[in-house]
Amino acid sequence: MTKVYGTGLYDFRRHRVAEYPVAAAPAESKTLVPKTGGGGGGVPSSITLSEIQRDRLTKIAEANWLKSGDAGRPKKDFDPELVRKIYETELLVKEGSKPVPLQRVMILEVSQYLENYLWPYFDPLTATFEHVMSIIIMVNEKFRENVAAWTCFHERKDAFKGFLESVLRLKEGRELSIAEKTNYLVFMINAFQSLEDEVVSRTILRLANLKSWYSLSYGRFQMELCLNPGLIKKWKRMIKKEPVKGDGSHLDPSTTVEVMFVRNLIEEFLEILDSQVFPLKQLSGEDDELIDATGLGLVNDACVLYCERFMEFLIDLLSQLPTRRYLRPLVADVAVVAKCHLSALYRHEKGKLFAQLVDLLQFYEGFEINDHTGTQLTDHEVLESHYSRMQSFQLLAFKKMEKLRELALTNIGSIHKRANLSKKLSVLSPEELRDFVCCKLKLVSKEDPWSERVDFLIEVMVSYFEKQQSQKEAINALPLYPNEQIMWDESVVPSINYSGEGCLALPKLNLQFLTLHDYLLRNFNLFRLESTYEIREDIQEAVPHLLAYINNDGGTAFRGWSRMGVPIKEFKITEVKQPNIGEVKPSSVTAEVTYSVSSYRAHIRSEWDALKEHDVLFLLSIRPSFEPLSTEEEDKASVPQKLGLQFVRGCEVIEIRDEEGNLMNDFSGKIKRDEWKPPKGELRTVTVALDTAQYHMDVSNIAEKGAEDVYGTFNVLMRRKPKENNFKAILESIRDLMNEYCIVPKWLENIFLGYGDPSAAQWTNMPDLLETVDFKDTFVDADHLKESFLDYEVSFVNPDGSGNLNPRPPFKIKLPRTLKPNNGALTGHAISTSGATNEINVVDANYQKEALIIETYTPPDPGPYPQDQPKQNSVRFTPTQVEAIISGIQPGLTMVVGPPGTGKTDTAVQILNVLYHNCPSQRTLIITHSNQALNDLFEKIMQRDVPARYLLRLGQGEQELATDLDFSRQGRVNAMLVRRLELLSEVERLARSLQLPEDVGYTCETAGYFWLLHVYSRWEQFLAACAENKEKSTFVRDRFPFKEFFCDTPHPVFTGESFEKDMRAAMGCFRHLKTMFQELEECRAFELLKSTADRANYLMTKQAKIVAMTCTHAALKRKDFLQLGFKYDNLLMEESAQILEIETFIPMLLQRQEDGHARLKRCILIGDHHQLPPVVKNMAFQKYSHMDQSLFTRFVRLGIPYIELNAQGRARPTIAKLYNWRYRDLGDLPSVKEEVIFNRANAGFAYDYQLVDVPDYLGKGETTPSPWFYQNEGEAEYVVSVYIYMRLLGYPANKISILTTYNGQKLLIRDVINRRCVPYDFIGPPSKVTTVDKFQGQQNDFILLSLVRTRFVGHLRDVRRLVVAMSRARLGLYVFCRRSLFEQCYELQPTFQLLLKRPDHLALNVNEITSYTERNVEDPGPGHHLHLVSGIEEMGSIIDRLYQEKLRHQFDQNGAYFSHLEPSANTDWVQSGQQTMDTDMPEQTEEATTVDNHVAVDMPPENSMEDVTMVDNGDGVANGNPSP
């Protein structure tokens, strides 16, 4: 089999999306690539661009449909014969296991064969079979590569419908080859996974409607109608609507496509399974002979792939309700699962994946759900239905079958197990059995040829009547830690080489789920397997460094050492507790592990000593082979065999003690910090909790099968990095949720599962709306409010109803339920519509606007002190942001799409602010993906009018908050205690001012009595006196009882000019006192609770109104939150398109229900599905299971209405155009058009953005020093040269970031910077050198971007990555890449067409030699100042010239006073390599210097720690010599 460059081995830590060639560099032709052995993904030898361009398909494409290249040359007319020829010679597979020649398909796909040739000329009436099949293959390829597949079809919807009809009728009167059948099947799988597409769903769902029941056997049909009487009416109505022939009789329904389609597919599959999988079956008499002779030559791999794909197809149909409802009886009628169980493939070694898929199909066929109502069945209902089925069966057997009398009279418990039931049924003769199953029970049709097989009939009976294990029991019996068997099972935890061609035994996360239980189960399995993959990688990383060998005694010993793994001195199980009632596994198993840290240096020793409670460790059993493996054995050996790995078991830390038995890390808080002593000796004993389910399985295996005692063999203890090791807590959270009932708010449940009206949870459809909302400081002035409600006639009134001609904020608005959206909210399907909604109100001049009445009011005086004044918002929100704020403060689901720079955080903060003031008793939970985003949000909330005492920040990142206040639990408790003392001293001062004893300020309790007896009573007397003396202007000033207390205000409180003014001031003073005593009342709990833990928990569960944490923290601590009784009403989630689906779901459920109802009232999701999704390291989970689909993206796909913010304030409008095509109507805020900084050009550069074409450098383009580790030396040197150029002009280093799309290139650029920039203080490193993926959510003024690839586009073809890359720069973006490659890529066209309107050589303005210019951004400068750089070498000489000029300039100004830099020996910082002068340039600006020094300190750790895999021999990569 030929290998295509880019589809072989994958290193998932570095790699994201499928690789493919592109039109300019299409791919190797068959003759070019050397064959590589078997399935091993050897990296193909490199081929030159000219060889690629000579490929036959490339030439055909250029002549017929390729749009770029020679635009002047006319293209030939459409030729169906050419389509046939390409199909037969290039796409049709005659032999081999693969359904398509992948490399040829990829060339056609990237040359836009589908978009430019197949689809534009497709006519449903005249299209040939080859034309339809070609489209099918191209669509499948788009799905394989994870790019939008249906977009090009939408321009011709009728033709699209016609195409789908042609697909359904494609097989009529034609026999397809096995490869064609597989391609056809994969297309159907993809279509059923795209039900959000209206045209696809309308056509495809016809195959799964009630009509398909015409194909059921008569007995099954009767049985189904008896079980669902409601369907009888529906069936009769459907028959009436059937078309009528001329003679008045109905047409035979079985002639229509939709009736027989699925049935025919199933029968075709069964025929292939039975007769084609083993082509030599005829020669061998019995199945068993064939199984024993597991000769690999017997199996037809193409048929096996077809069978696996067919299982995937049926699983997909049964795992979404719209298709399951009517097709499940069909699958049961044909008894697919029973036939698969009995097939030879199920038991053959080549059928392992097939067998796993059959089991998954069986699971979904018997799923605990009512298919017709869609409700989940409880365990009790499942059991009841099982018993009633068994009872009816026994009754029938008693009446009709004499031989089964014994079975009929036996108790159910003794016959509902598989073995017992089979034994009891064996008394029947084959004829009796057949009659019983087919005629009396009607489980299968008598016409079925399989019905003559006794084993088949018994299998059908047993699988129908045996008691199934409940899903809850199954999940509770699963070990949470992976063991060695699952870890290296390629069909569930695939490693490298997953290219999207085959299928896997994994659940998929698509649009819809059957029940919440199904949702949790799929996520549980995927999350468990994804973490298994990561653990496996860590084991493979750590174990080889230990250098295990067999010593003279025959035991295992270790020569080496590993940072993450340590040899075990002693392991013993200390306690196994009795099982809980009703369970078989022990309630807990604890063990002690002793190991030595003597071989470690201090910093690694401290890592081992820092183990905490609940940290997860792994116990490994290593037994290397005595003789080293030969090369041949090495090739055949599995990873565990190579490592000598026998067993892997997980455990959780309980406590850790030193050599003298002293507790090292006391997690209970009993040992105070100042009493802590450093650990003694070098031995450590850690007490761990083992997984009880795994322990039970192991012990049972020892007892029943005589297996080896796993627990006597452990000799290595392995730890993992703490940040990556939180999988167990998350899995426990999911498992706990599965054991609870009714967990999601009723208003969200259907939408969550993907059913019902997508807008049902929108605020306008919700009960309990806030009728009138006080918007506080949302609107800056009255004009701002009018701009926000352009569709309404706005009028302002005072609280008494009179008109207000001079309105000022704050405003109260009575919101109509039918509030018209601006152009913000829209359903998810209308993505491509342009902003046409703006023009609606221009059309009708007589259009009468609705009235919107706004109430203005004067807020009460907040108090006489400056700290009493509320903080005010200064952001002028756009109408769309206002719409998002309105939606966010109302109950229901609010989804806000925030394109880059559109003020997502400001909008979120204002929602929180308004919500706090309108619903002060409600509590809000804030969740984000990263600590950085959480801190940004928090810093902005602190600047709003929400008291700091109501804010709380949980998790690890609070120390990074840029504030003097500490918002962690401990910090808030301390702040409350400090505040209590401040307030009590104020109370004492108040008592003194009233000539009362000061001891009233002793505690919060005494202060409370003081308030009631002395303060409030005086105030009431004062109010009573005022009511009688309103006409005296000085009365308030003279008689105010607390005048002396307020004598220290900055301005006099009372003027004595008017009673009203003074009365308002007096009210303000009283408000100040009231707030003071209210705060004291809140501090009272902290006075009563003595322990820090109690105080912190009280703060979290009762005091804090806004609690913020990351999604990981929420999942880790869910159990603690439930125990403490944590409650919240509103959930606001930022970055929600970057959070895994399950990590979005858990934060909705951090509280117990109240009387069976969920308390959650609002759910606000803010994110951007056009930017990068959550990170999933394993390619298979990402591509096959769609695990990287966030809940936010799924909701958008489901068509749930969202509000898209539509004005960006980050980048120059010209730079924003590079990505705003991806959004519906993204404009610019006035600031980016008006501010000077956005209108001034980038000094030294002709343009603000440019694509710079980088040719081969030293004869090389992209290189792969190790597989999938991409680098491009030419781009690295060019980018760094441009960076040096900018620094020499005086651009601050902290304003420049260098981004790239691959980790390999990032490390190369850092090396070049270390060599050419770091040794020189006046250049230094830039703000950041990182990958595009890591830089999401950040920005900088100038971005230098290297795209690396020169042969294949690679993962930038994912448009979301392109959007992130283009939207990071504010003022300047310079993209370094291979033009001929990227301009061809269909998905990236809109951006690259704009980039290529400017020269593709870097255009410099050589006249500007400082970072300041007056030139306008649209003016490149006069022609004679403009210089196009020819390449890397010329850039080097430009830098050199500029440097000399700078030196001369400095010399003239300052004289020769600077010669203090000693350049390093190996730093040839300019390209030409000559020795640099022994001089230094004084710093450009003070700001740049401080930042540079800061970055220079930070950079090496980032280099050595972030992405470079640490080598265990002490010398980090960063310490070596930087290579060019």
Q: What is the mean pLDDT of residues 794-817?
A: 88
Q: What is the mean pLDDT of residues 1473-1478?
A: 33
Q: Name the more confident of 47 and 36.
A: 47
Query: Cβ neighbours of residue 638 under 8 Å, at least 6 residues apart?
Result: 488
Write the Ramachandran bin of 482: left for phi over 0, alpha for psi from -120 to 50, otherwise beta.
beta
Q: Is the pLDDT of residue 1264 over 60?
A: yes
pLDDT digits (tens, 9 = 90+) for 893-930: 999 999 999 999 999 999 999 999 999 999 999 999 88
For residue 169, CA distances in Å to 129, 137, 185, 1117 come to 10, 17, 13, 55
Q: What is the mean pLDDT of the chain?
A: 82
pLDDT digits (tens, 9 = 90+) for 697-726: 999 999 988 888 899 999 999 999 887 888
d(CA 1035, CA 1033): 6
Out of 13-22, 1208-1217, 1341-1350, least confident range: 13-22
Q: Is the pLDDT of residue 1468 over 50?
A: no
Q: What is the mean pLDDT of residues 1339-1362?
A: 90
d(CA 127, CA 134): 11
Helix 56-64, helix 102-110: angle, nearest 10? 30
Percentage above 70 pLDDT, the chain: 86
pLDDT digits (tens, 9 = 90+) for 1005-1016: 999 999 999 999
pLDDT digits (tens, 9 = 90+) for 543-584: 999 989 888 888 899 999 999 999 999 999 999 999 998 888
pLDDT of residue 1304: 93
Alpha helices in 776-839 (DSSP H): 782-788
Q: Is the pLDDT of residue 46 over 70?
A: no
Q: Is the pLDDT of residue 1427 over 50?
A: yes
pLDDT of residue 43: 31
pLDDT band at 815 (very low <50, low <70, confident <90, very high): confident
Q: Name the more confident of 222 and 497.
A: 222
pLDDT of residue 247: 63
Q: Is the pLDDT of residue 941 over 70?
A: yes
pLDDT digits (tens, 9 = 90+) for 1184-1203: 889 999 999 999 999 999 99
Q: What is the mean pLDDT of residues 852-866?
A: 89
pLDDT digits (tens, 9 = 90+) for 418-470: 888 888 888 888 888 888 888 888 888 888 888 888 888 888 888 888 888 88
pLDDT digits (tens, 9 = 90+) for 1476-1524: 333 333 333 333 333 333 333 333 333 333 333 333 333 333 333 333 3
For residue 1129, CA distances in Å to 536, 768, 888, 919, 947 come to 40, 13, 13, 10, 19
Percentage above 90 pLDDT, the chain: 38
Query: What's the predicted TM-score (pTM) here?
Result: 0.86
Q: Is the pLDDT of residue 195 over 50?
A: yes
pLDDT digits (tens, 9 = 90+) for 11-44: 222 233 333 333 333 333 333 333 333 333 333 3
pLDDT digits (tens, 9 = 90+) for 1091-1129: 888 888 898 889 999 999 988 889 888 988 999 999 999
Please check whether residue 1313 is in contact with residue 1325, taking contact to mean a CB–CB distance below 8 angstroms. Answer: yes
pLDDT band at 286 (very low <50, low <70, confident <90, very high): very low
User: Structure tokens of 1262?
Assistant: 């992209």
Please check whether residue 91 is in contact with residue 104, taking contact to mean a CB–CB distance below 8 angstroms. Answer: yes
Q: What is the mean pLDDT of residues 97-102?
A: 84
CA-wise closest residue to 1196 among 893, 883, 910: 893
pLDDT of residue 29: 34
Q: Is the pLDDT of residue 309 over 70?
A: yes
pLDDT of residue 1431: 92
CA-wise closest residue to 1257 among 1282, 1275, 1245: 1275
d(CA 1195, CA 829): 11
Please check whether residue 680 is in contact with residue 658, taking contact to mean a CB–CB distance below 8 angstroms. Answer: yes
**How far apart are the two ends of the chain, measured CA to CA in Å?**
37
CA angle, residues 729, 730, 733, in degrees to nearest 5:
90
DSSP code per residue over 63-82: HHT--SS-TTSPPPPP-HHH
pLDDT digits (tens, 9 = 90+) for 229-250: 888 888 888 888 877 766 666 6
**Which residue ranges form the domains of the chain, and what is each CATH number?**
54-278 (no CATH), 377-468 (no CATH), 539-725 (no CATH), 746-829+855-946+1105-1203 (3.40.50.300), 975-1094 (no CATH), 1207-1451 (3.40.50.300)
pLDDT of residue 838: 34
pLDDT band at 965 (very low <50, low <70, confident <90, very high): low
Please check whether residue 66 is in contact with residue 23, taking contact to mean a CB–CB distance below 8 angstroms. Answer: yes
Please check whether residue 1185 is in contact with residue 806, taking contact to mean a CB–CB distance below 8 angstroms. Answer: no
pLDDT of residue 452: 86
